[in-house]
Amino acid sequence: MQIHMKRIYIIILVLTVVSGCNNFDDDINKNPNKPSTASNTQLLAEAMRHLPETASGASANLYVQHWSEAEYITLSRYDNVFYNFYDWYTEPLANIEAVITSTTLNANEGPIPNQLAVAKVMKAYFFWYITDRWGDLPYTEALKGRDNFTPAYDTQEAIYNSLFALLDEADAQFVDGDISNDIVYDGDVNQWKKLGNTIHMLMALRLSKIAADKGKAEFNKALDRGILESNDDNLVYRHLSDANNWNAWYDVFDQQNRYWYAVSEALVNYMQPVGDPRLPTFANTNDNGDYVGLKYGLTGEEVNTGVYEKGNISMLGDAMRQPTTAVYIVTFAEALFAQAEAAKLGWIGGGDGAAEQFYNDAILNSVKQWNNDDDTGVSDMMTQSGIPYDPADAIKQISYQRWVHLFMNGYEAWAEWRRTGFPELVAPTDNNGREIPRREGYPTQEQQNNTQHYNEAVQRLGGNNDLNGHVWWDKK
């Protein structure tokens, strides 16, 4: 309870100092007991408040068929093409860059090298997230404020190389000593260090099809430095019962009464036959007490004629939409799945023996993550057909289990689907030939706001700013 209250006070302080007010008389309105600008670690705290948004978007949860749309069908039929990336630059990344470029870091908030290192880990994470959505993006010339309103787009390959270097800098910069205002790890920089290396390792695995030698080298570099070691190290955003900090899906389902998303047929049909103990966490039973996933990509006619009935299918589980439901962002189990795949690929030693152990440990820790440290049911599931590690089918098995584990972290699951081709998802067949998206379109405003560089980036995509272009690592 003390930790939760501490986080509430920090968040209130951050909101106070970054929002500002309309001062018409500085002498009258200035409060000597309240800071007029945010400190650097408060800026980092404000950036941290955007972390759950990287995992909570509806679009990718639908692309990767964790969910199906029950009422409004635009996202699962790929009608939305253009997605705005401006807020990522003007909100979390702008605050992070202000810390990195600051000349007034305050050692009273923790060792200055640690403030900078945490900022660099966060910058790498947010840029990794957005480049995997859109591909080429402003990076080198970005975040310059009024000095450059039309930044050039770096290629995704160049962005990845820059982020690897940035994470190298962060790892080398950490020293002993906690930092202030950390609403994620409560100032523990040892966990930030492990997180940075885990992000580095997961990024490296993205290169498995496009630059395997580079990926292997970066993977091992990060692994040798030390990655997440248990579920206690997970990057988790823990929502609060305070109405300003509710979980987003609690607000959608239980406050706005918008039951728009059901658990998909694909997910239920994979999990239920093997008795996966995560299913009761992910989904509610229908009115008959059964788990029934909803068909993916309903047509308007199917919705309008009542094919979908809320009581007949499994909605998102109650545990997934409480005010305080945590959002899992970078996790120990995902790191174990990555090592299982790396062992199978020969990137790390141990061959199939090591791959099997990492795979088994990943499933165990995934279940414990989702089920409040309870591993009941894991042993039985591991005996079911298709679940025990099979060297001939290992990449597919690892990928399917990673997909289950990444439930509610749609953009990460979507990236791994694009990279591996698993699970074997099928787009709606009656949708004018549209395939599952491979990227998201640049915001249409860029065509006017940054014409030259927008056009250059679109030309590198083959001339079309749409959902069908492949990002750099998504080898065709």
- Residue 304 covered by a domain: no
- The answer to whether 77 and 65 have CB atoms below 8 angstroms apart is no
For 328, the domain range is 40-70+77-243+324-432
Does residue 133 lie within any of the structural domains? yes
User: Cα separation of 197 and 174, whole Å?
Assistant: 12
- Whether residue 21 is contained in a domain is answered as no
Q: How far apart are CA 174 and CA 196, in angstroms?
A: 11
Residue 469 lies in a domain: no
Task: Please give the DSSP secondary-structure letter assigned to residue 441.
Answer: B
Q: How far apart are CA 36 and CA 17, in angstroms?
A: 6
Whether 43 and 98 have beta carbons less than 8 Å apart is answered as yes
Please check whether residue 399 lies inside any domain of the structure: yes
**Residues forming a β-bridge with 237:** 327
**CATH at 153:** 1.25.40.390
Which runs of E-coded beta strand occur in 45-162? Answer: 67-69, 137-138, 153-154
Task: Name the 3-class secondary structure at 42.
Answer: helix
Chain-centre distance for alpha carbon 357: 26
Q: Give 59's DSSP letter.
A: H
Please report where in the chains the tokens 């996790």 appear, as a residue. 331
Per DSSP, the chain holds a count of helices (H) and strands (E) of 21, 6
Look at residue 281 and tell me if it is in a domain: no
Residue 175: inside a domain: yes
Please count the other Cβ atoms lying within 10 Å of the Cβ belonging to residue 73: 21
**pTM for the full predicted model:** 0.93
Closest CA to 377 of 392, 364, 388, 387: 364
Does residue 237 sit in helix, strand or coil?
Answer: strand
Per-residue pLDDT tens digits of the chain, which is 476 residues long? 434 434 543 444 444 344 434 333 333 344 433 444 779 999 999 999 999 999 988 999 999 999 999 888 999 999 999 999 999 999 999 999 999 999 999 999 999 999 999 999 999 999 999 999 999 999 999 999 999 999 999 999 999 999 999 999 999 999 999 999 999 999 999 999 999 999 999 999 999 999 999 999 999 999 999 999 999 999 999 999 988 899 999 999 999 998 889 999 999 999 999 999 999 999 999 999 999 999 999 998 888 887 778 889 999 999 999 999 999 999 999 999 999 999 999 999 999 999 999 999 999 999 999 999 999 999 999 999 999 999 999 999 999 999 999 999 999 999 999 999 999 999 999 999 999 999 999 999 999 999 999 999 999 999 999 999 999 999 87
Distance CA 390, CA 441 (A): 38
Q: Is residue 271, in this structure, part of any structural domain at all?
A: no
Task: State the total domains in the chain.
Answer: 1
> What span, in angstroms and rounded, lies between the C-alpha atoms of 40 and 17?
11
pLDDT of 346 reads: 98
- Which of 364, 386, 400, 357 has its CA nearest to residue 274? 386
